Structure 1
C-alpha cells in the first residue's frame, strides 16, 4: 500500500463528504482505516507510528461525523414529505444554496431540515478546507477542484476502494449479547496513545527484553516458523521487587510491538452486580481474540488471583478467578496455534508471586525474574535519568553506582531527582518569597555536583531488604521458567 494511494483516497473521501455524497465518503473512510492499519505494520519508526495513530483518530472522528449527518438526513427524509401546490406555474422549488462544483459522482442533497437543528459537520468542513489549502492551483486559479483528468480517474479509485471494503470491513467489535456499557468500559482500556517508552529507555534487563521480543515480536515477523510446538507463549509473568521496571517493560511492549494492547487492572474487572465480573472477564478475552494479535497486561495480578480455598476468599472473587483461568486456557486453542496473527498473550506482573494461585501459575508459562539493577545497569540508569541535566566536572557516575548497591531502579530515580534540586535549595536558602520570585532564570542555571549526589544518597535509602531478595530468589529458583 503506497502513501500516494492513501493520500488520494483521503482527498477523495473528504471531497465526497464536502459535496454531500456521504454514502461514498463513508465507504472510502472505512477503506482508509484498513489501508492505514496495514501500512502501520510496516513502519518501524515510533515517531512516525505516533503520527499515523493521530491520523487514524482524525479519520475515525470524520467518519463518525459523516455517519451522524447520514442519520440526521435519514430522519429528515422520513419526517418531511414534499407538498405540491395547487398552482404549479406560480410555484418555484428553491434548492438549498450549495456551491457549484464538478462532482465526481451524483450528489445527494438533503431536504429542507428543521430550523432548530444543529449546523451539520462544522469540524469536517474545517478539516476539508485546511486540506484544500495544500492543493495546487488549477489553470483557472481554483483550489481543490478536480481537473478533467482527475474526474475520469477518481470513480475508478472509489470503485476499487468500495470493493476493498466489501472484501474486508473495518474491524469493530459489535458486542452483541453484552451490555453496551461493559463493552465501552473495556474499549477504554485499549491503549490508543503511544506510551513512548522504547527498549533503549530501559537499562539492563536484557534477558527480559529478549524474552518479550521472542514472545510478541518474532511471531509477527516469522509466522511460518512459530507454529505447532513452536507456537508463541500465551502467558508471561514478570516477578521482582517493586521499582525494578516491570510496568516499564509492559509500556515498551505497547510502544514497540504492533499489537492491540489492553491495560487491565482489578477495578476494570470488578462490578457490584452479581455475575457481571465474570461476564467482564469473558468479554475481555472475546474482544482480545477479535482484535488479535493482542497483548493483555494485568499489573499486580496477585490482587485478582490469590490462592483459592483460603478463609478470607469471597465467593464472587472465586468465580472471577475461575472464569479467568478458563479463558486463559482457551486462548491456546488450535486456531491460535496455527496462526500467530490470532495470538492473544497475557502479560502479568507481581511483587508477591508466592500468593498467586497454582493453576494460574501453570498457565503463565514463562516466569521471569526482574532483579535489582547490576553495577553496569545502575550506571546506565544514571545516564538515562541525567541526560537532560547539566553535571559538574567532578561527578563520577561509576563511583555513585557503586554506592547504590541494593537500590532499585525507582530508588536510583529518586536519588537523581533529589540531587538535581540541591543547587536550587542552596540558592533560595534564607530568601523571602518576593526575592525567590525575582530570581532570574540565568541565576538558577547551576550544574549538579558530586556533593549533591552524596547528600541525596544520605537522604534516600534503598527500599528492598536483603530478606525480601532472598525470598524472591528462592521462589524463582523453584518455579522460574526463563
Structure 2
C-alpha cells in the first residue's frame, strides 16, 4: 500500500495545530500516525539521499512527539476532577482556593465537556480551560493578570478558543475517532509501562535501535560464511515463514566468537539493517543497577518488551561480562541472580508465549564475545548457533583495503595485493589503523617543523597528496598486529570442541 506524502503533511499539520490548541491527547494520536506512515514510506524508498532526509524528518517529528507527551504527562499530574455545580477548587499551582459559579448560563460558561475532550489548563501558552469574558482577569500561578487590550492576535485567539470550546466538542470527537482509525490501520506499537517501573521502561526503550544503522552485507569484507548463517537464522524466517516451522523453527540464540576487531559488532549492525525487525542493542551497563533486585527486573522487562515488539532481536555485546561461569569464588550473589534470570528468560523466550511455530513472533538473542571459554555452560547451550569470526584471509584483507581507501588518492605504485600479503595475521581493526596511518604520512612530511600559523597557510592541495607505497611500508612497520598465534589456536580449539556452525 503506497503512502501518500500529502496525507503525511496534512496529519503533521493537524498534530501541531492540536498541540497549539492544548488538545494534547488528539495531537499525540496524529503524531503517532504520522510516524507510522513515515516508517512505511521509508520501507519503499531505495535512494540513500532521499531515505536519509526522510529519516531526519522522522527523528525531528519523534522529538516533537516526545515533547508533547512530556507536556501532557505534566498536565495530567496537575489535573483535578471537573467541578459540578458550585464548589471550591484547590490546585497545587494556585495560591488559594477559588469558588466557581454553577455552570448553567451558556453566555457565561459553556456546559462541562466530557473528560476525554476537556481542554488542558493554561500552561506554556495553551488556551484557558474555560472561555472568559474579555474583561475577566486570567489567573496564572495564583496572580490575576488582565488580558492585553488592543492586541488583535490575542482577541482572535480568544474568539477561536471560545468557538472551539462551545461548538468544537463534536468536531473534535470526530477528528479523534478518525485519527484513532488511521492509527489502528498502521499502528506503531508502544509498550505499555503499566505494572512496571516507568524509569526502567524508558531506560530500555533508549536501547531500541530507532534509526537505521545503515550497514549492509556488502559493507562487510569477506565473512561470507558468517553472513550466510546469520541470514539463515534471522532474515530467512521472516521471508519464508511457512518453511521455518516445527523442527525447522528459527534458532533462538546465536553466538559470534572471534578475536577482537574481526567485525562481530559490525555484523550485528548489518543484521539490524537487513532483517527489518525491532533490534535491542544491550550492553552490561543497560542491565546493571545499584539497587537490590532491579537488575533482574531489567532482564525480565527486556524480554517482555522484546516479545511485545516481536519479531525482534536482542544483541548483547561482550556477553561474557554479564554471564560468566557461575560458582566462582569471586562471584557476587546479585550477579548470580542476574545470570539465572537471563537463562530463565532465554529458555522461555518462545515457549512461554506458545508461539514456537510462528517465526514472525520469534525473539532471537544475538551475542558476541572475545572470551567464549568464560561463558557459563547453560548459556552456551541456549546459544544454539556458535559462529567463529576469523581473521580476514588474503581476499578479505584486499577488500578491507579497498573499503578503507575508497576516499583516498593512491599513487600509481601502490599495489593492494602486495600490501594485503604483508598484512597476514592482522585483524580488520589493525588493517584500518594501517590505512589511517598511511593516509597521514604525506601531511606529516609537509608540516614537519612548521608552526600552527604556517600550517594554516598551506594550500589544501599540498596537504592532500596521493598516498605512496613507501607510506604503506612505513605504516606497516609502525602498526603491529593485535592478535597472537596462541590466541588463534585457543579460539580454534574452543570451536572444535563447542562450535556449532
Please confirm whether the aligned pair reaches a TM-score higher than 0.5, indicating the same fold.
yes
Matches within 5 A, 1:24-423: 24-41=26-43, 50-67=52-69, 68=71, 72=75, 75=79, 83=101, 110-111=128-129, 114-115=139-140, 159-165=177-183, 170-333=188-351, 335-423=354-442
Q: In the aligned structure 2, how far is the partner of 1:271 from the partner of 1:16? A: 39
Q: In the aligned structure 2, how far is the partner of 1:267 from the partner of 1:106? A: 42
- Label 1:277 to 1:453 Cα distance change in 2 as closer, same or farther (>3 A): same
Structure 1 residue 475 and structure 2 residue 475: aligned? no
- Equivalent in the alignment of 1:132: none
Q: In the aligned structure 2, how far is the partner of 1:478 from the partner of 1:406? A: 23
Q: Give 1:197 deviation, angstroms.
A: 2.0
Q: In the aligned structure 2, how far is the partner of 1:229 from the partner of 1:362? A: 17
Q: Is the 8 A contact 2:119 2:128 kept in 1?
A: no
Residue by residue over 1:296-340, the C-alpha shift from the partner in whole angstroms, topping out at 9 and shown as x without a partner, is 111111112112222232222222111111110011316332222
Q: Give 1:186 deviation, angstroms.
A: 1.5
Residue by residue over 1:45-69, the C-alpha shift from the partner in whole angstroms, topping out at 9 and shown as x without a partner, is 6665554444444444444455536
Q: In the aligned structure 2, how far is the partner of 1:275 from the partner of 1:158? A: 41
Q: Give 1:344 deviation, angstroms.
A: 0.9
Q: In the aligned structure 2, how far is the partner of 1:448 from the partner of 1:284? A: 48
Q: In the aligned structure 2, how far is the partner of 1:389 from the partner of 1:252? A: 25
Q: Is the 8 A contact 1:22 1:70 kept in 2?
A: no
Q: In the aligned structure 2, how far is the partner of 1:467 from the partner of 1:371? A: 14
- Label 1:18 to 1:292 Cα distance change in 2 as closer, same or farther (>3 A): same
Residue by residue over 1:217-272, the C-alpha shift from the partner in whole angstroms, topping out at 9 and shown as x without a partner, is 22222222222222211100001111111111112222232122111111221222
Q: Give 1:38 deviation, angstroms.
A: 4.7
Q: Over the residues paired in the alignment, what is the CA RMSD in angstroms?
A: 3.3
Q: Give 1:375 deviation, angstroms.
A: 0.5
Moved more, 192-201 or 245-254: 192-201
- Label 1:106 to 1:331 Cα distance change in 2 as closer, same or farther (>3 A): closer
Q: In the aligned structure 2, how far is the partner of 1:431 from the partner of 1:291? A: 58
Q: In the aligned structure 2, how far is the partner of 1:216 from the partner of 1:423? A: 45
Tell me which of the two structures has the higher relative contact order, counting C-alpha pairs closer than 8 angstroms and 6 or more residues apart.
1
**SS of the residue 1:388 aligns to:** coil
Q: Give 1:15 deviation, angstroms.
A: 4.8
Q: In the aligned structure 1, how far is the partner of 2:473 from the partner of 2:35? A: 54
User: Which of 444, 447, 461 in structure 2 is aligned with 1:428?
Assistant: 447
- Label 1:230 to 1:42 Cα distance change in 2 as closer, same or farther (>3 A): farther
Moved more, 218-227 or 58-67: 58-67
Q: Is the 8 A contact 1:46 1:256 kept in 2?
A: no
Moved more, 334-343 or 247-256: 334-343
Task: Give TM-score scaled by structure 1 length.
Answer: 0.80
Gaps of 5+ in 1: 96-104, 118-153
**SS of the residue 1:307 aligns to:** coil
Task: Give TM-score scaled by structure 2 length.
Answer: 0.77
Q: In the aligned structure 2, how far is the partner of 1:324 from the partner of 1:70? A: 33
Counting matched residue pairs gives 432
